[in-house]
């Protein structure tokens, strides 16, 4: 599909491609290629290589160390990064809280937190979901009680990606009880080494430890760690969730997977039809992402993108399971670093096909369930009638 990029865009795309071919850490690329679970040091190496070129913070304004790229340049960069087999950046600092600090943080907060995110000295976790507040996030009960110049935090957050390796966590906190449950919520940051914070690992269905439950017991943090106004965090959270859902697209990675799957058709017409369905889904997704980046997006547009991302990812992993056949039966979790040595007689992709299939089932839920996204789309259609 020719999306009619300009000559300058194509030159930029070629520059990015050369970078990943010649300058990006090959050890990290090999881990991604062989389906191994990446550690913090792998992400640090990847991010430091990008920052050395000034390419790490694509979604930040230039004055805060961002790239200043156009939406199309940002899209082409992410596509080439994924086509090269580079890992997705850990988003909590760079894509989620970083832009929020740029837009709503104080100058002191910007000077305090942004340089460490860019240098990979600090990794962040996102404290949103709770045991009784997931899809209905506004029902959160995690409390922050003002005590002089501090807040006292109590409660727990769950499904917290990367909390076990994070230096900081940003949390949605209930600072007051208002008639409208979306009001009275504030965004407060805490260092993970605070007294009173404990982390319980959650091993997900793909066998990896990425998720956690984080417990807060009388955790004292300065009020200066609150981002924006007290009680206004629901607005900031919606801005953040929009960035989060756009980050799920991973069009380049899907194109890479489709190219691999094309080599496995082998005259199987039924498989070829299913592959064509997946290719069409990714083609539509690519057009939607570019439109959203260039022209902006409302809640319904972002919701439809999240649905499309989920459908495409799940279709692709189903196709991998089909081609792996009996080789998908021995389940190797993504946390093992030695599976490719233990399974030399099966196709490389097959050893983690089942783990990837399981992992992508969760995309129906995280970042807003598919049912909620469909409701958002329906409301937009209904209001336009």
Domain ranges of the chain: 7-89, 124-231, 248-384
- The region of weakest confidence among 21-30, 199-208, 324-333 is 324-333
With a cut of 90, say whether residue 223 has pLDDT above it: yes
Secondary structure (3-state) at 346: coil
State residue 339's pLDDT score: 46
Residues making up the chain, counted from first to last: 385
Mean pLDDT of 19-36: 91
- The region of weakest confidence among 55-64, 219-228, 309-318, 326-335 is 326-335
State residue 93's pLDDT score: 95
Of 73, 82, 244, 360, the catalytic one is: 244
Q: Give the residue from 72, 63, 53, 74 showing the smallest Cα distance to 105.
A: 63
The CATH homologous superfamily to which domain 124-231 belongs is Butyryl-CoA Dehydrogenase, subunit A, domain 2 (2.40.110.10)
With a cut of 90, say whether residue 213 has pLDDT above it: yes
Expressed in angstroms, the distance from the first to the final Cα of the chain is 33
101: phi then psi, degrees, rounded to nearest 5: -65, -40
State residue 208's pLDDT score: 83
In which band, very low, low, confident or very high, does the pLDDT at 301 lie, cut at 50, 70 and 90? confident
Burial group, residue 194, by CB count within 10 angstroms (0-12, 13-18, 19+)? middle
State residue 127's pLDDT score: 97
CB neighbour burial string for 47-71, b if at least 16 within 10 angstroms, e if fewer: bebbbeeebbbbbbeeebbbbebeb
**Angle between helix 40-52 and 26-33 (nearest 10):** 130
Q: What is the pTM of this model?
A: 0.88
71: phi then psi, degrees, rounded to nearest 5: -55, -35
d(CA 66, CA 83): 22
In which band, very low, low, confident or very high, does the pLDDT at 348 lie, cut at 50, 70 and 90? confident
Distance, C-alpha 276 to centroid of its chain: 27
Q: Are strands 124-127 and 168-174 parallel, antiparallel or unpaired?
A: parallel
CB 281 within 8 A of CB 258: no
In which band, very low, low, confident or very high, does the pLDDT at 1 lie, cut at 50, 70 and 90? very low
Map tokens 């679970």 to a residue.
37
Q: Give the residue from 309, 317, 308 showing the smallest Cα distance to 274.
A: 317
- The region of weakest confidence among 80-94, 155-169, 243-257 is 243-257
Average pLDDT value over all residues in the chain: 90
State residue 336's pLDDT score: 53
* Cα four-point dihedral sign 129, 98, 373, 139: positive
Q: Are strands 143-147 and 150-158 parallel, antiparallel or unpaired?
A: antiparallel
- The region of weakest confidence among 6-15, 68-77, 275-284 is 68-77
With a cut of 90, say whether residue 23 has pLDDT above it: yes
> What CATH number was assigned to the domain covering residues 248-384?
1.20.140.10
CB 190 within 8 A of CB 153: yes
More confident residue, 384 or 106: 106
d(CA 329, CA 338): 17
> Which of 73-77, 135-139, 163-167 ranks highest by mean pLDDT?
163-167
In which band, very low, low, confident or very high, does the pLDDT at 61 lie, cut at 50, 70 and 90? very high
In which band, very low, low, confident or very high, does the pLDDT at 121 lie, cut at 50, 70 and 90? very high
State residue 333's pLDDT score: 56
Is position 44 annotated as part of the catalytic site? no
Q: Give the residue from 350, 282, 290 showing the smallest Cα distance to 316.
A: 282
CB 159 within 8 A of CB 135: no
């Amino acid at each position: 599909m020719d999306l009619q990029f300009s000559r300058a865009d194509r030159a930029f795309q070629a520059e990015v491609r050369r970078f990943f071919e010649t300058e990006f850490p090959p050890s990290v690329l090999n881990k991604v290629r062989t389906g191994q679970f990446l550690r913090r040091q792998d992400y640090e190496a990847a991010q430091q290589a990008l920052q050395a070129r000034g390419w790490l913070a694509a979604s930040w304004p230039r004055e805060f160390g961002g790239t200043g790229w156009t939406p199309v340049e940002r899209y082409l960069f992410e596509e080439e990064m994924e086509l090269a087999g580079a890992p997705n950046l850990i988003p909590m600092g760079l894509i989620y809280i970083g832009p929020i600090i740029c837009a709503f943080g104080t100058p002191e907060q910007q000077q305090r937190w942004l340089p460490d995110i860019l240098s990979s000295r600090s990794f962040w976790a996102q404290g949103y979901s709770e045991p009784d507040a997931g899809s209905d996030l506004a029902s959160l009960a995690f409390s922050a009680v003002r005590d002089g110049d501090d807040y006292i935090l109590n409660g727990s957050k769950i499904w917290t990606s990367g909390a076990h390796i994070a230096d900081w966590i940003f949390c949605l906190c209930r600072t007051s009880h208002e008639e409208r449950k979306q009001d009275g919520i504030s965004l407060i940051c805490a260092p993970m080494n605070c007294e009173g914070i404990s982390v319980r690992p959650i091993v997900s269905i793909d066998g990896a430890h990425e998720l956690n439950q984080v417990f807060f017991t009388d955790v004292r943090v300065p009020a200066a760690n609150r981002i924006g106004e007290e009680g206004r965090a629901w607005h900031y959270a919606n801005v953040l969730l929009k960035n989060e859902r756009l980050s799920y697209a991973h069009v380049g990675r899907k194109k890479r997977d489709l190219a691999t799957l094309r080599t496995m058709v082998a005259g199987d017409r039924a498989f070829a039809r299913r592959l064509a369905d997946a290719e069409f889904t990714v083609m539509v997704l690519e057009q939607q992402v570019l439109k959203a980046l260039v022209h902006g997006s409302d809640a319904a547009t972002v919701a439809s993108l999240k649905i499309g991302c989920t459908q495409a990812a799940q279709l692709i992993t189903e196709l991998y399971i089909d081609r792996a056949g009996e080789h998908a039966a021995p389940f190797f979790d993504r946390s093992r670093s030695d599976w490719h040595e233990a399974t030399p007689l099966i196709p490389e992709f097959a050893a983690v096909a089942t783990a990837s299939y399981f992992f992508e089932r969760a995309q129906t839920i995280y970042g807003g369930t598919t049912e909620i996204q469909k409701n958002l789309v329906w409301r937009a259609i209904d209001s336009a009638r």
